[in-house]
Amino acid sequence: MSRALWFCAGLLLCAATFIPLSELRKALPPAERLGHLPSPGVTYFASLEHRALVSELIFYRTMFYYGALVHQPKQAPDYGALYAFLDTATRLNPGNIDAYYFAQAILTWDAKMVRPVNGLLQRGIAKRPWDADLPFYLAFNYYYFLGDFEHAARYFEITARLNPEVSYFGTLTARALYQADKTELAIRYLQNLLKGTKNQAVRKQIAVRVDALARIRFLEVACQRYRDKAGRAPASIEELVTAGVIKGIPPDPYGGVFYLDPRDGRVKTTSNLAETRKAQ
Partner 1 sequence: MRVGSFSLAQVTFKGGVRDRLLHGVLVAALLLLCSTPIFSSFSMRDVAGVAVSYTLSMISVIGVILAVFLGGNLIARDIQSRTIYSVATLPLSRSRYIMGKYLGLAQLLCCSLAILGLLNALGLAAIAKGYPPDRPLQWLSYAACLAFDLEKLLILCAVLVLFSAIATSTFLPMILTLAVYAVGESTEKVKFFIETVEGAKNVTPAVRGVSRIIYYLFPNLSLFDLKNQVIYALPLDPGALLLTALYGIGYITVTLALACAVFGRRDFV
Q: Which residues are within 8 A (CB) of 203 and not within 5 positions of it... i.e. 6 or more apart?
A: 194, 197
Question: With binding defined as CB under 8 A, does residue 44 bind partner 1?
Answer: yes
Q: Which is nearer to partner 1, 130 or 178 (CB)?
A: 130
Please tell me the distance from the alpha carbon of residue 244 to that of residue 78, in angstroms, as a whole number.
Answer: 45
CB of 44 to partner 1, least distance (A): 7
CA 65, 66, 67: angle at the middle one, nearest 5? 90
Please tell me the distance from the alpha carbon of residue 14 to that of residue 114, in angstroms, as a whole number.
Answer: 48
Chosen residue from 31, 40, 56, 194 binding partner 1 by CB under 8 A:
56
Question: With binding defined as CB under 8 A, does residue 45 bind partner 1?
Answer: yes
Chosen residue from 65, 85, 101, 143 binding partner 1 by CB under 8 A:
101
Q: Which is nearer to partner 1, 98 or 252 (CB)?
A: 98
CB of 192 to partner 1, least distance (A): 12
Q: Which residues pair with 260 in a beta bridge?
A: 267
**Which span (48-56, 154-162, 167-175, 211-219) binds partner 1, by CB under 8 A?**
48-56
Question: With binding defined as CB under 8 A, does residue 52 bind partner 1?
Answer: yes
Question: With binding defined as CB under 8 A, does residue 275 bind partner 1?
Answer: no
Segment 59 to 98, residues that bind partner 1, using CB under 8 A? 60, 63, 93, 95, 97-98
**Which span (53-61, 117-125, 153-161, 204-212) binds partner 1, by CB under 8 A?**
53-61
Question: With binding defined as CB under 8 A, does residue 142 bind partner 1?
Answer: no
Question: 119, 104 in Cβ contact below 8 A?
Answer: no
Chosen residue from 66, 85, 102, 143 binding partner 1 by CB under 8 A:
102
**Which span (10-18, 56-64, 144-152, 231-239) binds partner 1, by CB under 8 A?**
56-64
CB of 137 to partner 1, least distance (A): 12
Build a one-symbol-per-residue string for 176-215: x at contacts with partner 1 by CB under 8 A, - elsewhere.
--------------------xxxx--x-------------
Dihedral-angle region of residue 244 (phi above 0 means left; psi in -120 to 50 means alpha; beta otherwise): left
CA 205, 169, 194: angle at the middle one, nearest 5? 20
Q: Which is nearer to partner 1, 132 or 273 (CB)?
A: 132
Chosen residue from 49, 150, 165, 261 binding partner 1 by CB under 8 A:
49
Residues that bind partner 1 (CB under 8 A): 44-45, 48-50, 52-53, 56, 60, 63, 93, 95, 97-98, 101-102, 128, 130-131, 196-199, 202
